[in-house]
Structure 1
């Protein structure tokens, strides 16, 4: 139980640090460009303490769920003093405002990469794509009416060793079986199980493609669904669950994994609306789909269970993926997200460029009051989704087991 509580607290602390650094990204870039940063606070609600250094007040508030960076004149509607007016954010060039507004998301991306790099350099990265890379070659394959019998490493006289005899080695990436491409381990298993006799297997080894002929025997295996056994092909190899790296190669491994996580974050974002009905069903007793959105509460609970089970790779992957998702989400061109402010900034730039083409003066800053209704609707929707996910994570949380 202590390990679970420790995991929950540690994950929640990781989220708080991410949010604090998100706001620090805005603050540091704004200061670098000469904008005035009035306040930088971690948390919301009543103030715990604060101090002033230079022109900025730094502090902590009681509710550690977020934070804020108060930049003078973020929009033309913000009240500024005569002293602040020349340094109001809306007066700065478009690219500088864009850098400041996107700095929070960029910080999340950097944090996610750092977590992945540290993970790659110490414990490796999981093979989440199911890439068919051989981790071990068995001395033999044998009949087995149960999984335990089939995985028994003790070989009997006459048991075949197809992969070993054909020359397959740990680290080989299986590209094709019998001419059929095998992009994932499950594709390779399906191809092998349906094969029999001498079969060409194409592998990538040390950057070169080789073709090995494997004599695939038929063995007894338990059926994957239902009772009884079946005859399937087997060659005696196991898949790589974790890819190992050294401190140098970890950069490439983390970079590749980062790309995969960006794609995953975008796909999750596109699926987000259609997953909401399943969250509502889970609140009223339906089975909780593990692919439904989770709140900070749910993510922290999963992090706690991961620590309790000793699954530190899962804990770190969850923390990194949360940073990537929040970073991508925050760039959506919707107010009040940073991406919405970026969209308004570039709308002003494009609008003024078009006006100049027709010999007209610049149109001036966008009137945010005209966007307030849309903003409030989006805030309401965001609040409702947050309430739904938090409720579901309390009454019917996603569990590892």
Structure 2
């Protein structure tokens, strides 16, 4: 129980630090361009302490949930004093304002990358996309009716070695079996199991496609019926070639840079997919509140993520803990760039709208238009805030009454 509480506290702390650094990203870039930053505070609520250095007040508040960075003149409608006017944010070039507004999300991306790099250099990265890269090639394949027999490395005389004899090597990536593309190792297994005899297999080796012919062997294995996962395993005959695929990729300190970069790209793709699927998964969250089984792919709140972080620490699954922390940073970073107010992406969209509008007006010989009236956008903003608040309430409720749990 103590480990669980520690995990929850550590994950919550990680989130708080991430959000505080998000605001620090805005502050640092704004100061670098010469904008006036009035205040930078970590947390909300009553002030614990504060101090002033230069023109900025720094401080800590009692509720350690996020923070804020107050930049003078974030829009032309913000009130600024005569002394602040020359350093008002809206006076600066569009590209500078864009960098300042995007700096929070960029900070999340950097944090996520750092977490992944540390994972890659110390404990490795999971094969998230199921890449069918060969980890090892067996000396043989043979019947195995029990787990002990399956793990026995001793080969009986005459036992076939399909992959070894065909010239498959560790590091090869199987890209197709019998002409069918195999983007994941599950696809490779699905294509191999029903086959027997000589089968064309394409592998990518050192950037080149190599055509091989593998004599798939039929062996006996205990398997659980997918239609009845709780039933007893049945002995079935299945195709096998004698290879294993990595669940984790190991890297050295230098190679970890490329590994973390590649993994970051994969996580960006998954984050975008989750965002696209977000609306259609909300009904399942509502159903889970009223007793339906919780789909592990449904959205969760910070409360749910912290609970899983606690369970991960309790079970010693530090890889999952760090992976969840990195993915949350990527999600917050991408979500915050959506072109919706009051998100930073909404402010960026308005900034570029003004730029493009004034450019088009100039082409027609007209003077630049005035700044966008944010008061006219307040109704849309309030609707989005209400929808966002409702989603947060739903996910928090579901994470309390019917949380997603780690299954092993």
Shorter-chain-normalised TM-score: which range? over 0.9
Cα 1:63/1:220, change in 2 over 3 Å = same
Provide TM-score, normalisation by structure 2: 0.93
Offset, 1:146: 4.6
Which residue does the alignment assign to 2:388?
Answer: 382
Separation in 2, partners of 1:379, 1:209: 51
Residues 373-398 of structure 1: per-residue CA shift (max 9 Å, x gap): 11111111111111111111111111
Q: 1:307 aligns with which of 308, 313, 335?
A: 313
* 1:137 positional shift: 2.4
Note if contact 2:299-2:395 (Cα within 8 Å) is conserved in structure 1.
yes
Shift of 1:154: 4.3
Superposed CA offset, 1:141-176 (max 9, x none) = 232345554444444444333333434332222222
Deviations 1:316-345 (A, max 9, x none): 111111111111100111110001111111
Name whichever of 261-270 and 214-223 sits farther off: 214-223
Is 1:182 the counterpart of 2:198? The answer is no
Query: TM-score scaled by structure 1?
Result: 0.95
Distance 2:359 2:201 in 1: 59
Q: Does the 8 Å CA contact 1:147/1:221 hold for their aligned counterparts?
A: no
User: Displacement, 1:123?
Assistant: 1.7
1:37 aligns with 2:10: no
Look up the match of 2:85: 85
In structure 1, what is the Cα distance between the partners aligned to 2:201 and 2:272? 35
Matches of 2:180 and 2:279, distance apart in 1: 37
Give the aligned partner of residue 350 of structure 1.
356
3-state DSSP of counterpart to 1:291: coil
- Out of 230, 234, 250, the residue aligned to residue 236 of structure 2 is 230
Query: What CA distance in whole angstroms lies between the structure 1 residues aligned with 2:137 and 2:57?
Result: 62
Match of 1:190, SS state, is helix
Other structure's SS at 1:334 match = coil
1:16-31 matched pairs, under 5 angstroms: 16-31=16-31
CA deviations on 1:163-195 (whole Å, 9 max, x unpaired) are: 334343322222222333322111111221122
Q: CA deviation at 1:201?
A: 2.7
Instruction: Give the Cα–Cα distance (whole angstroms) in 1 for the partners of residues 388 and 299 of structure 2.
Output: 13
Aligned equivalents of 2:270 and 2:389: distance in 1?
24
Asked if 1:330 is matched to 2:330, the reply is no
In the TM superposition, 1:132-281 aligns within 5 A as 132-147=132-147, 149-225=149-225, 226=228, 228-281=234-287
Which stretch shifts more, 166-175 or 266-275? 166-175
- RMSD between aligned residues: 1.7
Partners of 1:348 and 1:197 lie apart in 2 by 66
Q: Determine the C-alpha separation between the residues in 1 that align with 2:101 and 2:386.
A: 22
Distance 2:286 2:274 in 1: 18
Q: Distance in 2 between matches of 1:72 and 1:206?
A: 54
Task: Quote the Cα distance in structure 1 between the aligned partners of 2:270 and 2:306.
Answer: 20
Q: Would the aligned equivalents of 1:31 and 1:37 in 2 still touch at CA under 8 Å?
A: yes
SS at match of 2:32: helix
Q: Distance in 1 between matches of 2:307 and 2:156?
A: 47
Q: How far apart, in 1, do the equivalents of 2:24 and 2:334 lie?
A: 18
